[in-house]
Structure 1
């Protein structure tokens, strides 16, 4: 025997909850996208969003949108002119870079010779004057042509001339190298400047379109909370039924008690036994505390052997028979 109660709630299926949560996340993302997919129309043109296809996401067909930019007539002309200018700059850069590739850096010998000749026109007269002065000095000192002293003096003049010409040749080569380096660097700089030319100006569109936020639905948490609440309610009902059963068992200790409906008031059904007998709360019409028990008229219909008549014709219930206390339960 026992008092009936509802079954414990079935725990939520985690896979089903996850699938539903994923679908709700997709719905949230679609709502977010729809709210923020704002067409823009300005004096410079327009940006329009249009649906151009579908894609499968989470087993669902999700629309694909394309943002199309349309320029005003004035902006189209500006872009065409800018594109033409960029094309010309690119061609110029291609030509220069090709020339640099075909003509690697080198010192032009003709330039070097030209620089040497230019310098020599000034250096040679100075060296000739220095030689005449040395010869005049030798004559004033009485150094005879062919003497050791004269030869030493002229040898020194010759060495000075040779050093001067060597230095002049090195200087001319350095200048030729510097000129070649400037020409090479110039082509490189021109090419770099052309490649980094001005970019096409983008037309002006709204950059601060309001962005709305759509919070996702915490479905998994909501499902778990609902299950926990249902389980707590089930546990509370179990506790109440256990208390009622305890009251009935205590009442059964008296074996036979008045349970005639005619003697009771404030009757409310609060549960059932395992064999569908109603359990009621009530008070005797003569007063007294709230009690729990069976109704004799109901018990008599189901188990007439558990009901007897007492003094005054009022019906009494043998709770041991009504609740089948002491019976052995046979199992297969």
Structure 2
């Protein structure tokens, strides 16, 4: 059981250099794959490597050869013949343009003669119109004579009755718990002596007939007599219940009579209050009608005064509008005269501009002809189709290195956890919960590994059965040579090891 070692982390410079080499190689391969030679009816496109460039990786100092490519475009024979003819034609037209341009020295050397141009219009000859100003508006009536004030308060018609007098309490229950036992006892007191006499007479009669108690005929006669006595008693009980029902009915009738009297008193007081409120409402309605009549008369006077003021203002406004219309008509006549003068001036300027344009056209025509001779037709260039580029994705070398390191680190952590678990098992295997590690008390000893630099053994204690499970631990005599502080001896002379101190100290050393 050796001590696990942590994996060595990857060197960033080495990883970066390897990743750079991978990226450059992938880029060169992608560039080579993208240089697809093409042949079309109008020509061809050919790629060729014409050299290379040395590039130094600043992080690692390694040199890389970066290839240099040249693209050569060649026309088809037919397009090449057209281009040759076009070049010859352009040369001829350029030669003709060169000879014609000699005429421009004399043409441009003479100034334009504008003596025959029509005279331009004189804007100073136009007389500006003198407009009439609009007269101010008439003074309008803005107030009305006093037509009286409207009344806004209705005369008091009296208070409204909002409550009624007390008509008495309503009975919500009546007596129903009448004791019927006394009626029942009275009936039974009258019936029991007769029943007793009838029972004695029956027993005498049965004895005279020679029927003895216990015989079937005797028992049947006695049972019949008992049934008749019970029926009589049940009849008394029913009569007592009927008496109770009669008393309850009387109590209910009395309560209903009292509530009917209370309802009649309440209805009379309610009718009296409603009559008083109807009279008050009638007085209030009469007062409101009188107020509305007075306000209607005041409103009529106000409306007549408002109509008279509006009529006067309308007449004044109409006279003012007539004056404004006359002024606008006079100003429109002046605008018409001014526009006619402007139209005459524009016609003169248009005639002059037309004459100047003709003169400039004569001067520019030779220049335009030479420019036209200098422009020739173009040769159709080949139309190359887009190639379906092939691409190689670069290898994530840095990611692979990191994943490898992470896997080794996870394995290391797993071994560490296993070692800690073995340490916990070691403490749990101590015999009888003690740390007795004296070699003299052990047998069947086998070395199985190391933990924190200390040898571990499997063994059994002397006196244990030979086929029993083995223990795992160290030998006190060996530990005492390197870690005497973790070994102690008791009064019995047996050496014991403090496992907590031994392995805890070992982990602190790491």
Shorter-chain TM-score: what band? 0.5 to 0.7
Preserved CA contact (<8 Å) 1:100 1:184: no
Preserved CA contact (<8 Å) 1:244 1:292: no
Distance in 1 (CA, whole Å) between partners of 2:23 and 2:45 is 28
1:67 is aligned, of 57, 66, 71, to 71
Distance in 2 (CA, whole Å) between partners of 1:89 and 1:280 is 110
1:272 is aligned, of 450, 467, 486, to 450
1:222 is aligned, of 400, 404, 415, to 400
Relative to structure 1, the CA distance from residue 63 to residue 171 in structure 2 (aligned partners, 3 Å threshold; closer, same or farther) is: closer
- Alignment deviations for residues 157-199 of structure 1 (CA, whole Å, 9 cap, x no partner): xxxxxxxxxxxx9998655522232234445654665566432
Per the alignment, residue 50 of structure 1 pairs with 48
- 1:1-332 correspondence runs (5 A): 4-57=2-55, 58=57, 59-89=63-93, 108-109=112-113, 174=353, 176-187=355-366, 189-190=368-369, 193=372, 197-205=376-384, 207-251=385-429, 253-256=434-437, 258=442, 260=444, 272-275=450-453, 277=455, 286=467, 293=472, 320=497, 325=502
Q: Structure 2: any 5+ residue segments left out of the alignment?
A: 58-62, 119-347, 460-464, 482-494
Relative to structure 1, the CA distance from residue 28 to residue 101 in structure 2 (aligned partners, 3 Å threshold; closer, same or farther) is: farther
Distance in 2 (CA, whole Å) between partners of 1:293 and 1:276 is 12
Measure how far apart 1:278 and its partner are. 5.6
Measure how far apart 1:80 and its partner are. 1.4
Measure how far apart 1:104 and its partner are. 5.3
Preserved CA contact (<8 Å) 1:53 1:64: yes
Distance in 2 (CA, whole Å) between partners of 1:321 and 1:174 is 121
Distance in 2 (CA, whole Å) between partners of 1:216 and 1:194 is 56
Distance in 2 (CA, whole Å) between partners of 1:285 and 1:186 is 129
Distance in 2 (CA, whole Å) between partners of 1:237 and 1:73 is 77
Distance in 2 (CA, whole Å) between partners of 1:98 and 1:237 is 99
Q: Residue 239 of structure 1 aligns to a residue in which SS?
A: helix
State the structure with more CA Rg: 2
Preserved CA contact (<8 Å) 2:3 2:452: no
TM-score, with normalisation over the residues of structure 1? 0.56
Distance in 1 (CA, whole Å) between partners of 2:103 and 2:5 is 90
Distance in 1 (CA, whole Å) between partners of 2:97 and 2:466 is 113
Q: CA RMSD in A?
A: 4.9
How many residue pairs are counted as aligned between the two chains? 250
Relative to structure 1, the CA distance from residue 174 to residue 27 in structure 2 (aligned partners, 3 Å threshold; closer, same or farther) is: same
Distance in 1 (CA, whole Å) between partners of 2:67 and 2:454 is 58
TM-score, with normalisation over the residues of structure 2? 0.39
The structure whose residues are more often strand, as a share, is: 1
- Alignment deviations for residues 271-295 of structure 1 (CA, whole Å, 9 cap, x no partner): 53344736779xx98466xx77369
- Alignment deviations for residues 75-105 of structure 1 (CA, whole Å, 9 cap, x no partner): 3212212233344455566777897799659
